[in-house]
Amino acid sequence: MRADSSRPRPPLDPRMYQISVLSGLLIYGLGWLHFDITLGRAALLLSTALLTQYVCTKLWRLPKFDPKSALISGLSLCLLLRTNFAALAVLAAVVTIASKFVVRWKGKHIFNPTNFGLVFLMFLGAPIWVSPGQWGNVAFFGFLMACLGGLVVNRAARSDVTYAFLVSFAALQFGRAVWAMQRWEVPIHRMESGALLLFAFFMISDPKTTPNSRAGRILFAAVVTAFAGFIQFGLYRTNGILWSLALWSMAVPLIDRLLPGPRYEWTRPRQKPQTQGVIDEADTSPRHRPLDQPALGSTSA
């Protein structure tokens, strides 16, 4: 019997594009931009992230090992995390990946893994710091174009929260400059940050940790930006967007309750939206059987 040629083909997993962009940036940074991270440290972070994902897959008895999300988190740590101690790099990677499995609410992990790993170590007072991502104009605009291209390739699944954050963050920075009578170069310099792009396109836009509805995501982006401004300009602390995202991620279940929407799946057929996507990490919640499928133990007439 011939296969049904009209059956819709599942779209490419958007994580593949993210892995390509982050890998390309890391290779370019190590080879030409002289990132302050060694090849050995990058290999240590990536291998630890993948190993932790594999161990958690076995512990939570998931049907298969899926390295894609772990690779994204590991690559993000390579670009952002800086420390002089290899043990802290290992700890950051373990905490980052394990948080997806441990810190969950109704089958959905609460925190963006990379954000949680960084904030967790900073909260403990560990000697780490976050790279500001001042890579120069060529690398910055190249990475920006790659990120914007990702929104097009992946049909802008979570572009609303990215755009809402960038617009609100720009308004915050330029508004602060006007109020403080600063030169325009000051907010422009703050906007030309590779770390800001990583945050906007790979952290706050994480479809597994953002609110399910569009209205909820726009509200979420605005609140995260406002509190980040308070941390930066009121408390005079660095990494305001990281602290703010970690704090307000705990409010996502409440936002989903007030502004409900469909939960995101990494892949789903284009013509059959009711079909389940790939299984989420540590999602062990039971799947409902179709109404026309007999229960186990029953016999057909």
| Residues in contact with 8: Cβ distance below 8 Å, sequence separation at least 6, in sequence order | 269, 270, 271, 272
Check if the beta carbon of residue 197 is closer than 8 Å to that of residue 148.
no
Residue 82 DSSP one-character state: E
**DSSP, residue by residue, 164-216:** HHHHHHHHHHHHHHHHTT--THHHHHHHS-HHHHHIIIIITT-TTTS-SSHHH
pLDDT value, residue 147: 85
pLDDT value, residue 133: 85
Residue 173's pLDDT band (cuts 50, 70, 90): very high
Q: How far apart are CA 53 and CA 47, in angstroms?
A: 10
Check if the beta carbon of residue 83 is closer than 8 Å to that of residue 126.
yes
Check if the beta carbon of residue 74 is closer than 8 Å to that of residue 22.
no
Summarize pLDDT for 179-193 with one digit per residue, the tens. 999 999 999 999 999
SS3 of 238, please?
coil
Mean pLDDT of 34-55: 96
Check if the beta carbon of residue 115 is closer than 8 Å to that of residue 123.
no
Mean pLDDT of 142-154: 76
Structure tokens at 185: 């170069």
**DSSP, residue by residue, 89-139:** HHHHHHHHHHHHHHSEETTEE-S-HHHHHHHHHHHTT-SEEE------HHH
Contacts 24+ apart (CB under 8 A), 174-177: 176/229, 176/233
Summarize pLDDT for 252-273 with one digit per residue, the tens. 999 999 999 888 776 654 444 4
Query: For the whole prediction, is pTM greater than 0.95?
Result: no
| Residues in contact with 108: Cβ distance below 8 Å, sequence separation at least 6, in sequence order | 208, 209, 263, 280
pLDDT value, residue 207: 87
pLDDT value, residue 99: 96
pLDDT value, residue 10: 62
Q: Is the pLDDT of residue 156 over 80?
A: no
Summarize pLDDT for 82-99 with one digit per residue, the tens. 999 999 999 999 999 999
For a pLDDT cut of 90, what percent of the chain falls above it? 65
Name the more confident of 121 and 278.
121
